[in-house]
């Protein structure tokens, strides 16, 4: 049995990673201050995890959280491009200073490896058919800049202190427990909620912007692979995605098909900092980590819609 720390374990991605680790029979500790995470996401697992309510910006909380831990899966962050545009200081404080604080604690505790949740947003809007790890980073938003800085810190800690680190660049993760009730929510839960209620989903721009939508189980599995793969982890970054791209209009069509509806979008102005096209080259993760696409977009979307339908019935 390995001992894992999941920072931000109360969040959407973090709680799915917690669930996956417990299903594997691993020991799981969670560090979360529930600023963006939700306690109810961890409720099914409360008896099976060690929960520390604390802040990654606190050296004391980080030191306590990494004690006797083998692997750190660092998911904690203030997410969202729009939120970072609105409040870049908060985003930097949590996403950069908090990551640095956690790395210092992990170094001092001599953990085996730190895996960092980075983002495809670090590539910006470069005109490349595939976003590969060989591209120069070109962040367009404070959030993307935060994630790029986090990657560089992980690499520096590997170089200077010998701490094994890996960054995973997530591409538009979706799935159960993703909150549709925030103004900063991701597009899939917003669209599903609207269309379940018979409303038109709001599309910023023409709807032809494309994303490599990635079901969250793929991300959970990728984190475990990145933590345990037998290679010298020295700050490498890997794309975690499906290697396929769908437009927002494709997404709406998929939801309509699942629901048996014919709802059209309501278009508004494009948003500052948004990337136009995004599709991942996942060959490096396949080669080094043994990563694969366990659940492609279509199946992931069906499972996600079924989860939201079940939640709606439970709430209603």
Write out the catalytic residue numbers: 143
β-sheet with 71-74: strand ranges across = 50-53, 27-32, 3-7, 71-74, 113-119, 165-170, 234-240
Please, which residues have CB within 8 angstroms of residue 243's CB and are 6 or more apart in sequence?
A: 130, 212, 279, 280, 281, 282, 293
Using the CB atoms, write b or e for 153-162: b if 16+ within 10 Å: bbbebbeeee
Three-state SS for 81-123 is HHHHHHCHHHHHHHHHHHHHHHHHHHHHHCCCEEEEEEEHHHH
Q: Two tokens at 265?
A: 């979008």
Q: Tokens 């085996």 appear where?
A: 112
How many C-beta neighbours within 10 Å does residue 199 have?
12
């Amino acid at each position: 049995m390995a001992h894992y720390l999941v920072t931000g374990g109360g969040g959407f991605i973090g709680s799915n990673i917690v669930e996956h680790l417990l299903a594997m029979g691993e020991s799981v500790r969670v560090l979360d201050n529930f600023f963006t995470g939700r306690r109810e996401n961890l409720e099914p697992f409360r008896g099976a995890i060690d929960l520390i309510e604390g802040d990654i910006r606190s050296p004391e909380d980080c030191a306590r959280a990494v004690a006797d831990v083998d692997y750190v899966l660092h998911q904690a962050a203030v997410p969202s491009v729009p939120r970072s545009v609105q409040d870049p200081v908060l985003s930097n404080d949590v996403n950069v200073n908090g990551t640095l604080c956690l790395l210092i604690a992990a170094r001092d505790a001599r953990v085996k490896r730190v895996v960092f949740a980075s983002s495809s947003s670090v590539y910006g809007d470069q005109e490349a058919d595939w976003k590969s790890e060989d591209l120069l980073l070109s962040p367009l938003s404070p959030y993307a800049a935060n994630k790029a800085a986090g990657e560089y810190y992980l690499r520096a800690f590997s170089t200077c202190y010998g701490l094994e680190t890996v960054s995973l660049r997530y591409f538009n993760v979706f799935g159960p427990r993703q909150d549709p009730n925030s103004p900063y929510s991701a597009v899939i839960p917003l669209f599903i909620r609207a269309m379940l209620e018979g409303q038109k989903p709001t599309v910023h721009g023409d709807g032809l912007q494309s994303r490599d939508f990635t079901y969250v189980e793929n991300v959970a599995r990728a984190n475990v692979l990145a933590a345990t793969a037998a290679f010298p982890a020295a700050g490498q970054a890997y794309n975690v995605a499906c290697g396929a791209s769908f437009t927002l209009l494709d997404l709406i069509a998929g939801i309509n098909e699942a629901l048996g509806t014919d709802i059209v979008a309501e278009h508004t102005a494009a948003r500052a900092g948004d990337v136009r096209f995004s599709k991942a080259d996942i060959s490096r993760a396949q080669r080094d980590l043994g990563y694969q696409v366990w659940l492609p977009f279509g199946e992931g979307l069906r499972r996600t819609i079924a989860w939201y339908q079940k939640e709606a019935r439970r709430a209603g």
